Structure 1
Amino acid sequence: MKKRILLIQGHPDSGKRHYCHMLEDAYAQGALSGGHELRRIDVGKLDFPILRSQEEWEHGVLPPSLEGAQQDVRWAEHIVIFFPLWLGDMPALLKAFLEQVARPGFAFTRNAKNPFGAKGLTGRSARVVVTMGMPAAAYRWFFRAHSIKSLERNILGFVGIAPVDESLIGMVANMDAEAANKHLSKLEKLGRAAQ
């Protein structure tokens, strides 16, 4: 079954080519070879302000530079988010992007019957692809993958995106070519299957 897939590159350094970009390209190659429709957002190339208050988030105007991103999220059936683990979490620029895009009235709506919010992005699935310097097993079991769980539950799940799968790739700085290519091959297969 063909899907509409949105790839969100969350590495803030768009001036250099990082392993996150290679993983995204591998997934994209697989998705296109599988006949899926594909759109891409490179957060590092976008210019937008950070939100500084709840009032601004709830009642402010979405920056024009992010209108296309919201349209892409609405269009997508499957969303894949790529980012490096920085200080145990996603980079601040990616978090700022998600805060801007996932605004009330778009990602969820509140009313008297449902003060916690009706999910606005149901019917979409996601995959989170995270690179890190530590072993992925250490992050998953010792640190309990806290930031990934927060992203899955408090952002993606809150707006109705489910299921959410994850690909945690550790020891990136010390990875040899064989291991790097193995992960790229896995991402290409996931892209072909739209998973």
Structure 2
Amino acid sequence: MKSLLILDGHPDPADRHLCHALACAYGKGASDAGHRTTLIRIADIDFPILRTPSDFTSQPSPQALGPAHDALIEADHLVLIYPLWLGSLPAYTKGFLEQLLHYDTAFERSESDRWPKGKMRGKSARIVLTAGMPALAYNIWYRAHSLKNLKRNILGFVGFKPVKSTVLGMVEHADDDQINRWLAKMESLGQGAN
């Protein structure tokens, strides 16, 4: 049994979004398999955006992110589900990650080390990205640049390994059968906690 943190990264709290349904399906599969799950909807949390480097390195994480912080520390596996906006994470979702992976949370402090060491070693992650374009176009033509950045330069940098990903494309044109297949896929991934 694993402890999972599922981050629903759609910044709009309206329930009609596919990301919300995908997060719930993943959580259902994980819970049905006996895993401990925490689902956090980023859209439901009000927090300040970091504006200076010293905010990241020396200010405490916002109190509103306390439950997410605790769930991250406890989690064996992180799941982040978000829509592709302007080729990357929505700004609010990126801002949430900057606050959640605050310096003291994500890195070991040491005066002798010039290069920070990530504290998330031993944890795995899955990223689920939804896009209006075909998944193949995002992966090949656009080279999945923002996904690679998130995998390597953010999650991998703080120690998550492995970081797996799923890209769901053409979401605005998906019919009910396609959506049900995606939900079943998320439920299956949740059961395996991967």
Normalised-by-shorter TM-score class:
over 0.9
Q: Structure 1: which 5+ residue stretches go unaligned?
A: none
Q: Deviations over 1:54-107 (max 9, x none)?
A: 011111121110122111100100010010000000100110011111122220
Instruction: Trace 1:160-179 onto structure 2 (pairs within 5 A).
Output: 160-179=159-178
TM-fit CA distance, 1:152: 0.6
Instruction: Trace 1:90-105 onto structure 2 (pairs within 5 A).
Output: 90-105=89-104
2:130 is aligned with 1:131: yes
Q: What amino acid is aligned across from residue 127 of structure 2 in structure 1? A: V
Q: What amino acid is aligned across from residue 126 of structure 1 in structure 2? A: A
2:79 is aligned with 1:87: no
TM-fit CA distance, 1:178: 1.3
Q: Distance in 1 between matches of 2:3 and 2:145?
A: 29
TM-fit CA distance, 1:183: 1.1
Please give the root-mean-square deviation of Cα atoms over the aligned residues, in Å. 1.0
TM-fit CA distance, 1:109: 2.2
What is the TM-score with the length of structure 1 in the denominator?
A: 0.96
Q: Distance in 2 between matches of 1:40 and 1:26?
A: 11
Which residue is 2:71 aligned to?
72
- SS of 1:126's equivalent in the other structure is strand
2:46 is aligned with 1:47: yes
Q: Distance in 2 between matches of 1:97 and 1:127?
A: 17
Number of residue pairs matched by the alignment: 194
- SS of 2:47's equivalent in the other structure is coil
Q: Distance in 1 between matches of 2:60 and 2:104?
A: 11
TM-fit CA distance, 1:111: 2.6
Q: Distance in 2 between matches of 1:28 and 1:56?
A: 33
TM-fit CA distance, 1:114: 2.3
Which residue is 2:26 aligned to?
27
Q: What amino acid is aligned across from residue 171 of structure 1 in structure 2? A: M
User: Do the aligned partners of 1:131 and 1:169 also contact (CA within 8 Å) in 2?
Assistant: yes
User: Do the aligned partners of 1:110 and 1:116 also contact (CA within 8 Å) in 2?
Assistant: no
What is the TM-score with the length of structure 2 in the denominator?
A: 0.97
Which residue is 1:5 aligned to?
4
User: Do the aligned partners of 2:134 and 2:169 also contact (CA within 8 Å) in 1?
Assistant: yes
- SS of 1:151's equivalent in the other structure is helix
2:192 is aligned with 1:190: no
Q: Which stretch of the first structure deviates more once superposed, 130-139 or 11-20? A: 11-20
Q: What amino acid is aligned across from residue 87 of structure 2 in structure 1? A: G
Q: Which runs of 4+ in 1 moved over 6 A?
A: none
